[in-house]
Amino acid sequence: MNRSPIPLLVLTLAPALLGLAVFRAYPIGLALYESLYTTIGGERVFAGFDNYLMLLTDVGFWKSLRVTLWFNLIINPLQVALALALALVFVQKLPGMAFFRLLFLIPIGISLPVAVIIWRIVLLPEGFLNGALGIVGLGPYRFLTSPDFALYSIIAIATWKGISYWMIFLVGGLQNIPPEINEAARLEGASPWQRLWLITLPLLRPTLLFVLVADITINFLLFAPVFMLTGGGPRGSTNVLMYEAYKSGFVFGDMGRAMAIVVCLVALLLVIVAIQFRLLSSAPKEAK
Amino acid sequence: MPPILRKALIYLAIAAVAFVFVLPLWWAILSSFRPNEAIFRDLFPFTPRALWPEPFTLDAYVAIFERGFGTIIANTLLVAGLTTALGLIVNGLAGYAFALFEFPGKSAVLGIVVVSFMLPFEAIAMPLYSVVSQLGWIDHVAALVVPSVANGLAVFLFYQFFQQVPKDYYEAARLEGAGWLRILWSVYVPLSLPTCISAGLMLFIFQWEAFLWPLLAMPAQQFKVIQVGMAAFQDQYTTAWNQLFGAAVITALIPMLLLIPLQRYYVQGLAGSGIKG
């Protein structure tokens, strides 16, 4: 290692650090700052914690919070479980697997808005899925315009698009487990099911934790499907906080409320992530 | 369970999953080659002909390019290309500095850089709007490119790679009197080609898939990028199903053309970010 002249350091580090400071760190500070202001007749007025206090009694906010939490309570365990199942299949050494692996990776190349457009037409009352369900005499269902279905349709679309991406990380984790451990357990007579629960999953814990945390972060801030498909409706059933904040700031021009919601959302996210680290990484590390 | 039965079950599961992944895409692709009035034909009652592009026409593709989809693709390629080029230089330099130079507070700064990529862009998109409007960049291409150039994950990928390069290379080049820029250019850059591909792909795909940020930063929609352009298209031509499918197919096709040959590098880059787990 070298002690280096200061100008050299500045030249190499400054562009990246400056970029991160201005476009990552500063916006966080600005969100906190702007959440203390309100706009009255085009004038920005200092409001203290009024924006936050008003959220406390804001029925729309609480309903949106409930939708966000319910959405995340379903989608995150679902995505991680399916991604894990997919990863376990992905690493199987079977004839013809190379072809299937390629198929598993397809949704990674598809952006969420593309997935949304395709699924919107697939899910129409006269669309492909209702046509296919018609074979067994079901439907047609209004997947996107009924308050009973819309949120679950969004969950399905985001899951379809997301699990291959999370699978990649889990495949990486699975490949890091030395095959000798599984081999030894197999010789000792452990069933595949036992090996999964007693060896694979405990050794995969760090990767699982990473995937869970990263997945929750993405899903807490999910925006495109709600914007493109439902606009928060029908009857507020898909109005997640991210969309509520967007509407507040960019449709109704109330940036103070929008920033207060974003701050609450990110704070809530940090709390949930912290709890998860607590629960999952302090657990005893078997077999390590 | 007898091994044969187990194998059959696994194949069945694989086929079912592949089916769910591929079927909507296949329907989208074939529908983009049908005339609009034939999209929902053969579905009620469902016949296998619903899975074949017949009658076949290229009308949808002709129509979306007449409606300016070509410009949108060019815009997005410009934004993504610029971000990738600048991003490789800026983040590569930072990774090089972190790997080779010692300075006080280095590990703290590096830690912050690494943490910064755990916070997704969506979380700061709305306050970032205020930053960018203070800079006067709303509706300018700079609003899309500049904030995305510095990327903690890319810095980390370069740092990780440059650190593994034996220090002897650096020392030897120093002894021969080469300056740091020359060493970087003629020793480190050629070695780091795989990392450049990983980081470059990541930056490119990030821009190609960006949705919320371009939506906020370009309110006049004079300069449209692809995901927002597609969403606007969906609002404008609500029932031009075949054209919507065509636009979706093209939007998915371009990153696929990069990802399929380079998937190894993309996966390595992703896995690199998960290592610390």
Q: What is the pLDDT of residues A226-242, one digit of tens each?
A: 999 888 878 889 999 99
CA distance A59 to chain B (A): 23
Q: Does B74 touch chain A (CB under 8 A)?
A: no
B129: which chain A residues are within 8 Å (Cβ-Cβ)? 249
Reported as a pLDDT band with limits 50, 70 and 90, residue A17 is very high
| B256 → chain A, closest CA residue | A109
A86: which chain B residues are within 8 Å (Cβ-Cβ)? 17
Identify the residue whose tokens are 């679902």.
Answer: A78
Q: Does B21 touch chain A (CB under 8 A)?
A: yes
Taking only residues 53 to 72 of chain B, the set having a beta carbon closer than 8 angstroms to any beta carbon of chain A reads none
| Element holding A229 (H helix, E strand) | none
Reported as a pLDDT band with limits 50, 70 and 90, residue A187 is confident
Question: Could you tell me which residues come within 8 angstroms of residue B187 by beta carbon, excluding any fewer than 6 positions away?
Answer: B165, B169, B170, B173
| Residue A287: pLDDT over 70 | no
- A247-284: pLDDT as tens digits: 998 898 888 889 999 999 989 998 988 888 887 765 54
- A140-167: pLDDT as tens digits: 888 888 888 899 999 999 999 999 999 9
Percent of chain A's residues with pLDDT above 90: 32
| Element holding B123 (H helix, E strand) | helix B121-134
* Domain limits, CATH 1.10.3720.10, in chain B: 62-274
* Cα distance between residue B77 and residue B203, in whole Å: 12
Contact B150 A31 (CB under 8 A): no
A213: which chain B residues are within 8 Å (Cβ-Cβ)? 118
Contact B17 A86 (CB under 8 A): yes
| Residue A84: pLDDT over 90 | yes
| A140 → chain B, closest CA residue | B44
CATH label, B62-274, candidates 3.30.390.30, 1.10.3720.10, 2.115.10.20, 2.120.10.30 = 1.10.3720.10
Query: To the nearest 10°, the Cα dihedral for A60, A65, A66, A72?
Result: 150
The pLDDT of residue B274: 56
Question: Could you tell me which residues come within 8 angstroms of residue B120 by beta carbon, excluding any fewer than 6 positions away?
Answer: A217, A218, A221
Q: What are phi and psi of A95, to 5 degrees?
A: -60, 140
Point out the residues of chain B with pLDDT beneath 70.
1, 271-277
The full set of domains in chain A, from first to last, is: 58-281 (1.10.3720.10)
* Cα distance between residue B12 and residue A114, in whole Å: 28
How many beta carbons lie within 10 A of that of residue A110, not counting itself? 24
Token readout for A12 is: 């190499």
Q: What are phi and psi of A285, to 5 degrees?
A: -90, 90
> Looking only at Cα atoms, what is the longest distance across chain B?
79
In this complex, the residue of A16, A107, A164 whose CB is nearest that of residue B91 is A16
